[in-house]
């Protein structure tokens, strides 16, 4: 959910005719409640986090996790993700902060825009890794559960760019072209001339393209994981590959200022490298889908490999029911207690 802080050049665009059919853009993205600024971009991010948390919670519980375990992840993933997103933006847009016209203090003005999705994912993953160490959960288990939730969150978060009139593509006369105003990002509203917002032109709505692509990625990961029951975090690799494909072509359409290397925008190179890494992981790492087992007090004690303990995979109908953790071992031992008494092969969690 990258953002930019500079005004759009408008001289050439103002001379271009406006198509008869366009998608309107907001002329304001900040509202004040008792003197406190409420920004649409922030609301989109909050909604995205909530959606991702709900989906992840549902998927983890269907794999045996105790209720509300996702909250232990959110408290670490969100702050790490925000910091990572900002750091990535600053490092990939150094002239805004370290150049001759840059100001270091602007690094901390996140309300003026400037976050990078690659940094958010990396920072969030680091936060989840910390949470896994504290809770004893394997990171691969969380990766598999969160795989369709992340693209859903990204699809929602992209609408923050819509409210900010930013991150659009080239000019177009297509009926779904996006009308863009000359924007004061700090004030959160369009510049005006005689009381009327200044129209820059009509452009490809790349925020919408990516949002729709992300929804498709979420559906794809969900369907493939439901059918093939990926383990060892392989569903997350599917998400990464599918997202990188979409991000590459959407990035190629964008016209905002960006760092280039060998003719490509930096984010396009990042997409290529991350895609290759995800593909390698998917091909090299194999394993069944894990389930968590908890004791009577709801305390996590182990991760069950359904193949090793001969637990049959649930049917599509059963997958919609939140089965108690004790039922997971029932086909083998009759109960978790008898399994322990009989000296089962269950192993303590290895929080890799």
Across the chain, mean pLDDT equals 81
Residues 6+ apart with CB under 8 A from 106: 5, 96, 97, 112
Does residue 279 sit within a domain?
yes
What mean pLDDT comes out for the span 120-142? 91
Distance CA 274, CA 279 (A): 9
Residue that wins the pLDDT comparison between 55 and 92: 55
Does residue 322 sit within a domain?
yes
Query: Of the given ranges (159-163, 210-214, 257-261), which has the lowest mean pLDDT?
Result: 257-261
**Model pLDDT, residue 255:** 76
Q: What is the DSSP letter of 289?
A: P
Domain of 297 in residue numbering reads as: 291-341
- Contact present, 55 and 156 (Cβ < 8 Å): no
% residues pLDDT > 70 (the chain) = 80
275 and 325 fall within a common domain = no
Task: Indicate the pairing of strand 291-294 with strand 189-190.
Answer: unpaired
Distance CA 330, CA 340 (A): 12
Cβ neighbour number for residue 153 with a 10 Å cutoff: 27
Residue 192 has pLDDT above 80, yes or no: yes
Closest CA to 56 of 132, 147, 154: 147
Residue 250 has pLDDT above 80, yes or no: yes
Vertex 75 angle, CA 57 and 80, to 5°: 115
Query: Of the given ranges (35-39, 53-57, 248-252, 293-297), which has the lowest mean pLDDT?
Result: 293-297
Does residue 6 sit within a domain?
no
Cβ neighbour number for residue 231 with a 10 Å cutoff: 21
Question: Which helix H or strand E contains 41, and what residues bound it?
Answer: helix 40-61
Cβ neighbour number for residue 24 with a 10 Å cutoff: 8
**pLDDT class for 282, splitting at 50, 70, 90?**
very high
**Model pLDDT, residue 308:** 63
- Contact present, 215 and 155 (Cβ < 8 Å): yes
Does residue 84 sit within a domain?
yes
Residues 6+ apart with CB under 8 A from 211: 154, 155, 156, 158, 159
41 and 132 fall within a common domain = yes
229 and 327 fall within a common domain = no
Residue that wins the pLDDT comparison between 53 and 100: 53
What mean pLDDT comes out for the span 335-348? 40
Does residue 100 sit within a domain?
yes
Query: Of the given ranges (64-73, 106-115, 140-149, 229-238), which has the lowest mean pLDDT?
Result: 106-115
Query: Of the given ranges (19-33, 56-70, 135-149), which has the lowest mean pLDDT?
Result: 19-33
Residue that wins the pLDDT comparison between 75 and 317: 75
Angle, helices 40-61/139-146, rounded to nearest 10 degrees: 120
204 and 243 fall within a common domain = yes
Does residue 166 sit within a domain?
yes
74 and 165 fall within a common domain = yes
**Model pLDDT, residue 55:** 97
**Model pLDDT, residue 12:** 45
**Model pLDDT, residue 328:** 39
What mean pLDDT comes out for the span 122-150? 93
- Contact present, 72 and 81 (Cβ < 8 Å): no
Select from 284, 299, 332 the last residue of a domain.
Answer: 284
208 and 331 fall within a common domain = no
Does residue 210 sit within a domain?
yes
**Model pLDDT, residue 239:** 97
Residues 6+ apart with CB under 8 A from 99: none
Distance CA 147, CA 228 (A): 14
| Number of residues written out for the chain | 352
Vertex 249 angle, CA 243 and 253, to 5°: 130
Cβ neighbour number for residue 70 with a 10 Å cutoff: 25
Question: Which helix H or strand E contains 265, and what residues bound it?
Answer: strand 264-265
Give how many domains the chain has, as a whole number: 2
- Contact present, 290 and 305 (Cβ < 8 Å): yes
**Model pLDDT, residue 98:** 80
Phi/psi of residue 8, nearest 5 degrees = -80, 135
């Amino acid at each position: 959910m990258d953002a930019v802080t500079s005004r759009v050049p408008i001289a050439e665009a103002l001379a271009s005719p406006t198509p008869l059919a366009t998608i309107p853009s907001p002329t304001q993205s900040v509202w004040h409640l008792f003197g406190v600024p409420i920004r649409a971009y922030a609301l989109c991010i909050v909604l995205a986090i909530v959606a991702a948390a709900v989906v992840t919670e549902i998927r983890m519980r269907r794999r045996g996790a105790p209720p509300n375990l996702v909250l232990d992840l959110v408290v670490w993933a969100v702050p790490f993700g925000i910091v990572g997103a900002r750091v990535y933006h600053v490092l990939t847009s150094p002239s805004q902060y370290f150049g001759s016209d840059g100001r270091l203090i602007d690094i901390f003005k996140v309300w003026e825009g400037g976050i990078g999705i690659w940094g958010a994912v990396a920072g969030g993953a680091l936060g989840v890794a910390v949470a896994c160490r504290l809770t004893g959960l394997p990171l691969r288990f969380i990766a598999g559960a969160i795989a369709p939730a992340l693209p859903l969150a990204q699809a929602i978060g992209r609408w923050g760019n819509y409210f900010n009139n930013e991150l659009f593509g080239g000019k177009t006369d297509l009926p779904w072209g996006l009308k863009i105003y000359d924007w004061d990002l700090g004030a959160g509203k369009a510049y005006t001339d005689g009381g009327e917002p200044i129209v820059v032109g009509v452009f490809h709505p790349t925020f919408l393209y990516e949002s729709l692509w992300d929804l498709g990625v979420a559906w794809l990961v969900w369907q493939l994981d439901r059918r093939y029951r990926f383990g060892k975090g392989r569903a997350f690799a599917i998400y990464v590959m599918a997202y990188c494909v979409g991000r590459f072509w959407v990035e190629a359409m964008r016209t905002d200022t960006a760092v280039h290397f060998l003719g490509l925008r930096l984010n396009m190179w990042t997409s290529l490298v991350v895609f290759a890494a995800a593909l390698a992981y998917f091909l090299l790492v194999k394993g069944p889908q894990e389930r968590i087992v908890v004791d009577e007090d709801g305390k996590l004690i182990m991760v069950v490999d359904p193949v090793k303990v001969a637990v049959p995979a649930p049917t599509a109908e059963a997958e919609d029911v939140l089965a108690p953790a004790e039922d997971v071992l029932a086909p083998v031992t009759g109960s978790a207690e008898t399994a322990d008494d009989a000296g089962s092969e269950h192993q303590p969690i290895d929080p890799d």
